[in-house]
Structure 1
Amino acid sequence: MAVSINGLKRTVMCGEVTEEYIGKRITVMGWVQRKRNLGSLVFIDLRDIKGILQAVFGEEINKEAFAIADTLKSEYCVAITGEVVRRESPNNSMVTGQVELKGEEVVIFSESETPPIYIKEDLDAAENIRLKYRYLDLRRPDMQKLFVIRHKTTSIIRNYLSDHGFLEMETPILTKSTPEGARDYLVPSRNYNGQFYALPQSPQLFKQLLMVSGFDRYYQIAKCFRDEDLRANRQPEFTQVDMELSFVDMDDVMTLNEGLISKVFKEVLNVDVKTPFMRMPYKEAMDKYGSDKPDIRFGMEINDITNIVSDMDFVVFKSNIEEGGFVKAINFEGGAALGRKQIDKLVDFAKDHKAKGLIWIAYKEDGVKSSIAKFLSEEKANEIKEAMGAKDGDLVLIVSDAYKNAVESLGALRLHIAKEFDLIKNKDEFKFLWVTEFPLLSYDEEEKRYVAEHHPFTMPMDEDLELLTTDPLKVRAKAYDMVLNGEELGGGSIRIHDSKLQEKLFNTIGFSDEEAEEKFGFLLQAFKFGPPPHGGLAFGLDRMIMFLGGTDNIKDVITFPKNQNAACPMTEAPGMVDEKQLKELGIKVIEKEDK
């Protein structure tokens, strides 16, 4: 890319200078990665986004350029002009390692202080320092590669969706606060004193309105905002690949998105993704893996041994089963070799994840060892061993509890063991699946009413419609999540388009007509004018780039992310504002009392 600055024209990027340039006079521009002074020669490694090129300066080449080159320091921004020659000592690990640039001219655009972080790959530095000097962190080649991948991915997505009849359309950032599960970020209005806009948690309602508008297929690479407590790999602002389609069913949406994912992984990583993806009902996912986003790269599935242990004279089993609980177990192959301290750590982990306790049975060559040895007959130990598919050397781990606690604690323990003991042999494998048939509703004990698991516009499964009035918790939704290696990559549903069914669902979750009108009135009004059947899906773009870029930190794939306290160390946001601004908005800040 030719760029002219102060009469100098960049003729090629540093990382693009290969043997075909030998004998040519070029100008490159970038940052000094490293300087080496060998007395009669000065070597400069010059870096730009495409890579690193070595330049050599000597008094015999150009005395003035040699003198300037000797003053250069790390991160000086410079231009170097000269002839490309073959290197006497090639570096086969570099794309440009067969050539070097004879430095005939050097121009310093700007000098640099000593950077507070090293500009190098695989930097080991405190996260807050990296975020404070993010503009330097982003100079690092491994970081820049991630954003090249991000750009390439969004380009592929745009082209694919355009080829499949989608229009890219924008929806408002300043909108109305509606209940979508997390806290809204609120924006006060100067013109409407005491009233607030909300930043969108998703474009959900607007994309449905676009279907009512007849646009047929919409997509948007959309910024979304949620004011919630941050966990690992969660940010207050994030990006979705958001889409909605008219006149489709679940199969249509899933098949189209399998094609999208296949194209992205092939063009970005040259990985062939096998389609169609496995489909797994929510109930099966919870039964086998204790998670609605199961990692299926390894086994250790959860088994139900309630019937097998129901006749044991062990109060933990007996009382739990009498109260309607379950006894669930996983088999840790080879786990019998663990020491007692290691097993105790697994017990503590299960308790930390809401299990009342963790019972273990170690099948050793010299006999069975167990935390409930005095209640466990040889016959019962063998029954459990056979049911679990265990063999000598294995460790069976058991939780006796209510269904949810039992499967979720074992699901978390299963993942912990896989990570702690390196059970996932092919970490570069991509295992996709769809989790389907989610519950439409759950019961909120605090509010004493049913609540929508996804959102209140999700279509129930046709065969479950009658259960809305008789047994709402058994109603399954036409909802689907795409899962990759134990992470939710995207999710969506078919929406309700029938106003009578919508009214019925609102009644089930305890919304009066007035409440429904207050919260969603503009959408309900639109649905009076012939809404089409429609459905959609949204991918977490940031999470997708994490997989494609091989990083496990979401902050690596967002240009200027927040830290775990939702603050920006670089700009020091959030911050105080001028009293005049607050007065114009009719806002008075009241300090929180210490709890």
Structure 2
Amino acid sequence: MYRSHTCGELRISHVNQEVTLAGWVQTVRKFGSITFVDLRDRYGITQLLFGEGLNAQLDSQPLGREFVLQVKGKVVERSNKNPNIPTGDIELEVISFSILNKAATPPFTIQDDTDGGDDLRMKFRYLDLRRNAVKRNLELRYAVNRSARNYLHENHFMDIETPFLIKSTPEGARDFVVPSRMNPGQFYALPQSPQTFKQLLMVSGYDRYYQVVKCFRDEDLRADRQPEFTQIDCEMSFVEQEDILNMFEGLIKRIFKDVKNIDYTDKVERMTWNDAMLRFGNDKPDIRFGMELTNFKTAFEGQSGHPEALKIFEESGFKVFNEAETVLAIAVPGCSEYTRKQLDELTEWVKRPQIGMNGLVYIKCNTDGSYKSSVDKFFPEDKLKALADICGAQTGDLILILAGREERTRKATSELRLEMGEKLGLRKKDEFKLLWVLDFPLFEYAEEENRWVARHHPFTSPKPAHIDIMINNNPVIDNPAEYLKHPYANIKANAYDMVLNGNEIGGGSIRIFQRELQEKMFDALGMSKEEANHKFGFLLGAFEYGAPPHGGIAFGFDRLCAILGGSESIRDFIAFPKNNSGRDVMLDAPSAIDAKQFDELQIKLDLK
């Protein structure tokens, strides 16, 4: 027996018991004729006391950091107790020990405040995983997984596996492809999601399906993206949107309770996509704080803006506002005392390539009742006050204004709002706020190709009231300049996203389940009947054999874990992640393969 107890298990109630522990040496501290060792395993740390009788043996068998050690000893009460660890009331008085394996000096210290950078820790990830900080992340991930599975099982969902080697189909991102040795010149693709399989399972009568499943997308990476990621993937038959929303609100609330001990009793707010864009500038708003956008002037969805503001702009002669497609503002509470240096820093922030604006206009609503602006030359104080009133600004607030092209300005103002929320401490990591965003447009207009593309995916159903619009109208866009007037521009999707603290954690829709409507969707996306049958003939065929109404949702499992753990990066919650270049630096993958393998696959490599 290597151990009778774990290193996190012993308490004052175990005093005078003889036990056996095994683990890794965290630290060695020698004090004259005695030596203290902290022994660590997954469960915690126990302090070991090597008395005078064992010191000679320690001299001949010195212990180093990360040595694997087995000890036998008697549990005794500590004279200098450590309240910071659960085992801090006791220590183990060692009777005998055995070095099970020696260890080279680690390339970084294995503790919470490590001296290892990201690249070094990723190269030696198996050592990084020993750190408590990483262990806590994986424990949280496991807790979320267990909670989700328990809830879904209790609600009669079946966990059904779907294949990883599938056919390449257009789903929005690039596929990872796998050559087939037995079928030369042909390729599998790794699934971007199990979308079509879960729909086929609905056709098969498995009315409540789920998987905690790997998905693969060959796309550019960032903090919340990995080439392989995990979804909680779910589908239900004989449901409408309301059934889905209620079921999966319950799932997330259950996870909050089980993992964070939070009773989320608030009603989950619902907001249309149109309102989210107008009020917050994006479709996944952080609603933990206000600071909503004021649309002084806007081209969004064919709107114009605030009439009084438009009149003030016209009278001002200020070309930046008058010639801009859109002018948006936020009122930042309590920041009228910002210095010129702070305002200059904000201006440089919006000019960064990631934000892409040319500059920033501000209005200070001073505490003495006066108004000061960077464009005083064009706007007298009474006009500044009028603009402040339109924003709902209070005394002491700072109004920040951006102007330019609609899409870029709205995105930039949204980012500026989040930045100011961060600066003011309004985006607390231990505060959680859920939101449903509904009624997305079914289509987006692809200007370069002059055609419609699916905003979600091509299996999303229109809202019931909009199905006839889709069926009875030609999707061809005769005049690209007036695409917003096309009937398809007004079709709303029967789709929904769940947002947590400004992050989309789940998205789904009620699906198309009739062949005629699915073929019309493919036609709207510019897909010929031949192409549709080649890529999705199996699904269209299935719809002819009694497909039930169905819908579902997929949650970004890694992202949900990161938010619950208070991290910006999903990598912290994945045991063996890739770096920002999509490389596994520990395995040195991807890597070249042997010429023999190319020959077996009948593939020639032509690098240009």
Identify the TM-score tier after normalising by the shorter chain.
over 0.9
Would you say the 8 A contact 2:421–2:427 is kept in 1? no
What count of residue pairs does the alignment treat as equivalent? 578
Return the offset for 1:272.
Answer: 1.2
TM-superposition CA deviations, 1:538-594 (whole Å, max 9, x none): 1111111112323222111111111011011111001111101011112222223xx
Q: Which whole-Å CA distance do the structure 2 matches of 1:39 and 1:456 have between them?
A: 74
* Residue aligned with 1:310, SS: helix
Query: Whole-Å Cα distance in 2 between the matches of residues 364 and 204 of structure 1?
Result: 55
**Mapped pair 1:570 → 2:586:** yes
Amino acid at match of 2:129: L
| Corresponding residue SS for 2:331 | strand
Equivalent pair of 2:33/2:55 in contact (CA under 8 Å): no
Q: 2:404 aligns with which of 384, 389, 401?
A: 401
Map of 1:72 onto structure 2: 63
CA distance in 2: counterparts of 1:276 and 1:365, whole angstroms: 37
- CA-CA distance at 1:67 after TM superposition: 5.0
Q: 1:265: how far off?
A: 1.3
Q: Classify 1:65/1:575 alpha carbon distance in 2 versus 1 (closer, same or farther; 3 Å).
A: same
Q: Deviations over 1:376-399 (max 9, x none)?
A: 022211111111122333221122
SS in 1 for 2:389: helix
CA contact (8 A) 2:429 2:566 kept: no
Of 507, 510, 525, 2:523 maps to 507
Which string of whole-angstrom CA distances, capped at 9 and with x for unpartnered residues, describes residues 250-293 of structure 1?
Answer: 11111111111111111111111125311111111111111111
* Equivalent residue number for residue 227 of structure 2: 236
Cα deviation, residue 229, structure 1: 0.9
Corresponding residue for 1:589? 605
Over residues 315-373 of structure 1, what are the superposed CA-to-partner deviations in whole Å (9 max), with x where a residue is unaligned? 222233xxxx3322111123322222322332333344244542221223463322221
Bigger shift: residues 510-519 or 10-19: 510-519
Is the Cα–Cα contact under 8 Å of residues 223 and 568 in structure 2 kept in the other structure? no
Identity across matched positions, percent: 47
Q: Residues 111 and 132 of structure 2 are in contact (CA less than 8 Å); yes or no, is this contact kept in structure 1?
A: yes
Native 8 Å contact 1:482 1:491 kept in 2: yes
1:516 aligned onto 2:532 = yes
Q: Is the 8 A contact 2:107 2:116 kept in 1?
A: no
What's the secondary structure of 1:329's corresponding residue?
A: strand
| 2:492 matches 1:476 | yes
**Residue type matched to 1:13 in 2?**
T
Q: One-letter code of the match for 2:331? A: N
Q: Is this contact kept in 2: 1:359–1:399, CA < 8 A?
A: yes
2:86 to 90, 95, 113: 95
Tell me the residue number matched to 2:280.
289
Q: Distance in 2 between matches of 1:289 and 1:425?
A: 15
The whole-number CA distance in structure 2 between the counterparts of 1:300 and 1:15 is: 47
Partner Cα distance (1:40, 1:423) in 2: 52
Between 498-507 and 409-418, the greater mean CA deviation after superposition: 498-507
The residue that corresponds to 1:444 in the other structure is 446
| Structure 1 contact 265–273 (Cα < 8 Å) conserved | yes
Query: Is contact 1:258-1:276 (8 Å) kept?
Result: no
Structure 2 Cα separation of the partners of residues 112 and 263 of structure 1 = 43
Counterpart residue type for residue 430 of structure 1? F
3-state DSSP of counterpart to 2:235: strand
Work out which of the residue numbers 58, 64, 73 in structure 1 matches 2:51: 58
Query: Aligned with 2:377: secondary structure?
Result: helix
Indicate the residue corresponding to 2:157 in structure 1. Answer: 166
For residue 424 of structure 1, the aligned residue among 423, 426, 435 is: 426
1:425 and 1:201 map into 2 onto residues whose CA distance is: 31
Cα RMSD (Å) of the superposition?
1.7
Question: What are the superposed Cα offsets for residues 62-82 of structure 1, whole Å, 9 maximum, x if unpaired?
Answer: 5676556x6111100011111
Which segments of structure 1 move beyond 4 Å, counting only runs of 4 or more?
A: 62-68
Q: Is the 8 A contact 1:431 1:484 kept in 2?
A: yes
Aligned to 2:207: 216
TM superposition score normalised by structure 2 = 0.92
Structure 2 residue 431 is matched with structure 1 residue 415? no
Deviates more, 1:363-372 or 1:120-129: 363-372
Unaligned runs of 5+ in 1: none
Classify the secondary structure of the residue corresponding to 2:119.
Answer: helix
Q: State whether residues 35 and 55 of structure 2, in contact with CA within 8 Å, keep that contact through their aligned partners in structure 1.
A: no
- Counterparts of 1:463 and 1:355, CA distance in 2: 39
- TM-score normalized by the length of structure 1: 0.94
Aligned: 1:45 with 2:22: no
User: For each residue in 1:517-547, what CA deviation from the matched residue of structure 2 results, as whole angstroms up to 9, or x when unmatched?
Assistant: 1221111111111110001111111111112
Partner of 2:12: 19
Query: Displacement of 1:235 after TM fit?
Result: 0.5
- Which residue is 2:330 aligned to? 330
Q: Counterpart of 1:542?
A: 558
Distance in 2 (alpha carbons) for counterparts of 1:439 and 1:198: 29
Distance 1:549 1:326 in 2: 38
Q: Write the distance in 2 (CA, Å) between the matches of 1:354 and 1:532.
A: 47
- Match for residue 375 of structure 2? 372
Q: SS of 1:297's equivalent?
A: coil
Task: Give the deviation of 1:405 after TM superposition.
Answer: 2.6
Q: Which moved more, 1:506-515 or 1:363-372?
A: 363-372
**Selected match of 2:320 from 292, 316, 322:** 316
Structure 2 residue aligned with 1:145: 136
**Gap change, CA 1:518 and 1:356, over 3 Å in 2:** farther
| Deviation of the 1:515 alpha carbon | 1.7
Distance (whole Å) between structure 1 residues aligned to residue 249 and residue 365 of structure 2: 43
Residue 258 of structure 2 corresponds to residue 267 of structure 1:
yes
Distance in 1 between residues matched to 2:342 and 2:452, nearest whole Å: 42
SS state of the match for residue 563, structure 1? coil
Query: In 2, distance between residues paired with 1:231 and 1:214?
Result: 39
Structure 2 residue runs of 5 or longer lacking an equivalent are 298-306, 474-485
Alignment correspondent of 1:340: 340
| Deviation, structure 1 residue 94 | 1.1
Residue in 1 that maps onto 2:459? 457
For 2:424, the aligned partner's letter is: D
Asked if structure 1 preserves the Cα contact closer than 8 Å seen for 2:34 and 2:55, the reply is: no
- Residue of structure 2 aligned with 1:526, choices 527, 542, 550: 542
Deviations 1:449-476 (A, max 9, x none): 0000001110111222343325111111
Q: 1:357 to 1:515 in 2, by over 3 A?
A: farther
Query: Does structure 2 retain, via aligned residues, the 8 Å contact 1:467–1:474?
Result: no
Cα distance in 1 for residues equivalent to 2:267 and 2:401: 35
AA at the equivalent of 1:394: D
Change (3 A) 1:484 1:386: same
CA distance in 1, matches of 2:592, 2:371: 64
Shift of 1:512: 1.6
Name the amino acid aligned to 2:322: K
Question: Are 2:146 and 1:155 aligned?
Answer: yes
Q: What letter matches 1:436 in structure 2?
A: L
Q: Describe the superposition over 1:20-42 as per-residue Cα deviations: whole angstroms up to 9, x where unpaired.
A: 21111100110000011112111
- Contact 1:266/1:272, CA 8 A, preserved across alignment: yes
Farther off after superposition, 129-138 or 282-291: 282-291
